[in-house]
Structure 1
């Protein structure tokens, strides 16, 4: 089948733009959290549905995009060495997050947050990519399992990363493999389907305008989001130090 996928394509702008949108939303969410932590915003980020729902939506977007990225990588024939290089970056940043959060929140530091969870889930996703359409029911099963199976055995820090806990552990960020692997699998399944049936939809450039296209007003924001989405890990690691530093400087100087 002749298509835009007949030769390797490094990036898909629409996927990068979606990831960039999730990054912007996350940064706004975290800035509000920082304001609350400093007593400048009255908000309960642990119980108020306004904030807990946003966290779920942001995390869901990231994992769907991560699954989509794995679908693109395997379709393009990404080698295992290249996969492991990227994986090492994610895992290394997860360790840094744990260290940084331990200094800020020693009693509730992050030991299995989003990057820790993604490091495990990326390996599972890579290995399960050949299952293709079977990823849909597997994803549904992953989403349901924590509701069907809960046991005190999984409540310790050595096992609660699986997600089959009877209570949520005390930590600033907790992203266990279950149920979140289900969303990564669904992101893979949906993208594999698009790549097989509508590859041009995935490969099109958000910056291109066809004749008679009046979407010029949206081209620049989408291009900016796509650029941001290509640097997702860097942005993720830097945004909180920058936000916290700027906020503390403002408090000190006002």
Structure 2
């Protein structure tokens, strides 16, 4: 699933503590708003595929993978820029901690909901988790020369993209990155390599302290984007439940089958007919097997092609129950 939100705080581009609190960075707000629009479009595509209205290959198609990387990178880069700008002239610790608390609480809420809705692929270290951790680590870099921070950013990116160790596959360490097996998660944004993008943003903010400054936009679209950018955490938390709810409601009305169901039934029926069984019987048996797997709680594992010993036994049991004596 995807990537990708960010709110303020250590994340928002704000004025130095010594400056007027009303001073905004309109261009950064708009950039954040554009990233939110792109994220919403990506999530809408995921929802449409999940409920069978489309068949986008979000996990393998190079174009979709590039889109996810671009959207996530834009949020993390803006988070780093915001942290650097917020620390200019002295960091307001109270404001930083309050915003960090909000981001952390939102990350915990996202995890809790994902464990309920998608227990086989929960979000245990997604983009909000990453921003919370990276914003704390980033404090060590907000006073360093931009060139030093940029060099560390390049090292983090290189390490995260090129190194992997089975040790980091542990549930307690995989949030760091460097895993040899990608965990099942709808939004996995490990510390490495992605903190490299946050650090790059800090370097940009240090080198270009006036970035995003200027007069507010005069267009209605610009004002709407800027408003969304100023409230990016709220938009992030609300948009996917709304989109998912709309897709779910549509799926209750329209006769569609999710791709995983179509693929399973098609393969099952084809295999059955190749064995010489009448098509009508094959269709009935395969629908029965699908229902049995759903009833036993094994459908998600079968649909995700995670055929461990338990799911294989369940599949055989479902087939036996549907074929009858």
What is the match of residue 232 of structure 1? 232
- For 2:145 and 2:50, locate their aligned partners in 1 and report how far apart those are by CA, in whole Å: 43
What is the match of residue 205 of structure 1? 215
Q: TM-score, normalised by structure 2?
A: 0.69
- Contact 1:194/1:202, CA 8 A, preserved across alignment: no
1:149–1:253 CA distance, 2 compared to 1 (3 A): closer
In the comparison of the two structures, how many residue pairs are matched? 237
Q: Which sections of structure 1, spanning at least 5 residues, go unmatched?
A: 209-218
**Is 1:251 the counterpart of 2:251 in the alignment?**
yes
Structure possessing the higher relative contact order (Cα contacts under 8 Å, 6 or more residues apart): 1
- For 1:203 and 1:36, locate their aligned partners in 2 and report how far apart those are by CA, in whole Å: 40
- Contact 1:8/1:76, CA 8 A, preserved across alignment: no
User: Shift of residue 76 of structure 1?
Assistant: 4.8
- For 2:251 and 2:32, locate their aligned partners in 1 and report how far apart those are by CA, in whole Å: 31
What is the match of residue 216 of structure 1? none
What is the match of residue 7 of structure 1? 19
The 5-angstrom pairing of residues 38-49 of structure 1 reads 38-49=51-62
What is the match of residue 214 of structure 1? none
What is the match of residue 180 of structure 2? 166
What is the match of residue 241 of structure 2? 241
User: Shift of residue 164 of structure 1?
Assistant: 1.1
- Contact 2:51/2:251, CA 8 A, preserved across alignment: no
Q: TM-score, normalised by structure 1?
A: 0.88
User: Shift of residue 54 of structure 1?
Assistant: 0.8
RMSD: 1.8
Q: Which sections of structure 2, spanning at least 5 residues, go unmatched?
A: 1-14, 255-325
**Is 1:33 the counterpart of 2:46 in the alignment?**
yes
- Contact 1:65/1:187, CA 8 A, preserved across alignment: yes
What is the match of residue 117 of structure 2? 104
- Contact 2:154/2:196, CA 8 A, preserved across alignment: yes
What is the match of residue 211 of structure 1? none
- For 1:11 and 1:76, locate their aligned partners in 2 and report how far apart those are by CA, in whole Å: 16
Give per-residue Cα distances to partners, 1:9-38, cap 9 Å, x unaligned.
542110111011000000010001000000
- For 2:221 and 2:53, locate their aligned partners in 1 and report how far apart those are by CA, in whole Å: 30
The structure with the larger Rg is: 2
5-14 vs 95-104, greater mean Cα deviation: 5-14
The 5-angstrom pairing of residues 140-159 of structure 1 reads 140-159=154-173
- For 2:136 and 2:152, locate their aligned partners in 1 and report how far apart those are by CA, in whole Å: 15
- For 2:96 and 2:145, locate their aligned partners in 1 and report how far apart those are by CA, in whole Å: 19
**Is 1:71 the counterpart of 2:81 in the alignment?**
no
The 5-angstrom pairing of residues 69-148 of structure 1 reads 69-133=82-146, 134-148=148-162
1:30–1:156 CA distance, 2 compared to 1 (3 A): same
Q: Secondary structure of the residue that 1:137 maps to in structure 2? A: helix
- Contact 2:161/2:193, CA 8 A, preserved across alignment: no
User: Shift of residue 148 of structure 1?
Assistant: 4.2
- For 1:8 and 1:143, locate their aligned partners in 2 and report how far apart those are by CA, in whole Å: 36
Give per-residue Cα distances to partners, 1:167-188, cap 9 Å, x unaligned.
2111111101111111111111
What is the match of residue 204 of structure 2? 190
Q: Secondary structure of the residue that 2:178 maps to in structure 1? A: coil
Give per-residue Cα distances to partners, 1:35-82, cap 9 Å, x unaligned.
000011011221111211111100000000000110110015331121
The 5-angstrom pairing of residues 55-66 of structure 1 reads 55-66=68-79
1:76–1:16 CA distance, 2 compared to 1 (3 A): farther
